[in-house]
Amino acid sequence: MPELPEVETIKEDLRELVVGSTIEAAEVLDPALVEQPSVEEFTRRLGDVRITGARRRAKHLIVELDSGDALVFQLKIGGQLLLVPPVEEPRTALMLVLYLDGGRRLFLRDQTGFTRARLLDPEELKARLSPLGPEPLEEGFAVEYLRETLGSRRAQIKPLILDQKVVSGVGNIYADEILFDARLHPRRKANTLSDAEWRVLYEAIRKNLAAGVEHRGTTVRLYRDVLNRPGEHQNYLRVFEKHGERCPEGCKGEVVQEKVSGRPTHLCPGCQRLSGGEEEQRLTFA
């Protein structure tokens, strides 16, 4: 599903193409889309409102309206937000149409049907966003935060960095890339990481997410931007869904896929050793 870089790209597209437009009417084509409020109220409150801004928090896409409401999307694996024109009108898997002034329409489609939307007043929005952890590309995100928050946890490192209360915006694709980049086995227990490993993990989180943003997201299957263009970061992935291929670091090992905490996980067992902690700790304290 869209992670930080993909939602960031869509947000930037909305800022460039849609902010300043008025939503004249909304048509809900799949009632399962609307989590909050009722479909009737959602449609009513989306009539004749101006879009004043677009922002992202974690994987939430937030469209700000002059009514004070925020239209909040959680795009799931097939979720696409497409601007017609210039994009040709999509015909299938439609969940929502926003009719904009000037004859343009914003279509939300999702072939998997899991995307959800909420229309929230400022208090509701604040409550919705408050449990989320820090934004990893913002200034306040520091290696000390990671180490202090997770350093005594016995849980495996992969599910911890996927936890949106810990770090905002990391999903399954970037998690595998981050852990490979940091040479950390996804099953390593957080409390076995050395200071040096926390530093490397921190750098890898920032580096991989920033690269994803720069490349306008990763299109493994269904992700598209608002103009229906795929991202480019899939060309830079090193382990995600590369199982059976040689290790990209040339360690003579092979990338494998295993389930970690229920998620398909891709790693090079040669580069990402489970027992790495002791060696690293010796280096750190030498």
> Residue 251 Cβ, how far from Zn ion at the closest point, in Å?
3
| Residue 210 in tokens | 């920033």
Asked if residue 120 lies in contact with residue 129, where contact means CB atoms within 8 angstroms, the answer is: no
User: In which element (H, E) is residue 63 found?
Assistant: strand 60-65
Q: How many residues does the chain have?
A: 286
Which of residues 195 and 249 has its CB atom nearest to Zn ion in the complex?
249
| Size of site (CB under 5 A) for Zn ion | 7
Question: Binding to Zn ion (CB under 5 A): which residues in 79-138?
Answer: none
Which of residues 230 and 270 has its CB atom nearest to Zn ion in the complex?
270
**ω into 5 cis (within 30 of 0):** no
Which of residues 87 and 255 has its CB atom nearest to Zn ion in the complex?
255
Residue nearest to Zn ion (CB): 247
> Residue 187 Cβ, how far from Zn ion at the closest point, in Å?
16
Distance separating the N- and C-terminal Cα atoms of the chain? 43
| Residue 166 in tokens | 């810990």
Please, which residues have CB within 8 angstroms of residue 44's CB and are 6 or more apart in sequence? none
Asked if residue 180 lies in contact with residue 268, where contact means CB atoms within 8 angstroms, the answer is: yes
Taking alpha carbons only, the member of 186, 151, 159 closest to residue 271 is 186
Q: Which residues are catalytic?
A: 2-3, 59, 263
Question: Binding to Zn ion (CB under 5 A): which residues in 1-60?
Answer: none
> Residue 272 Cβ, how far from Zn ion at the closest point, in Å?
7
Which of residues 142 and 251 has its CB atom nearest to Zn ion in the complex?
251
Residue type, 11: K
> Residue 243 Cβ, how far from Zn ion at the closest point, in Å?
13
Kindly state whether residue 173 participates in binding Zn ion, applying the rule CB under 5 A. no
Question: Binding to Zn ion (CB under 5 A): which residues in 222-281?
Answer: 247, 249, 251, 253, 268, 270-271
Asked if residue 3 lies in contact with residue 234, where contact means CB atoms within 8 angstroms, the answer is: no
Which of residues 193 and 255 has its CB atom nearest to Zn ion in the complex?
255
Cα–Cα dist 272/280, whole Å: 12
Using alpha carbons only, give the angle 283, 162, 144 rounded to the nearest 5 degrees: 45
What does the binding site for Zn ion look like in residue numbers (CB under 5 A)?
Answer: 247, 249, 251, 253, 268, 270-271
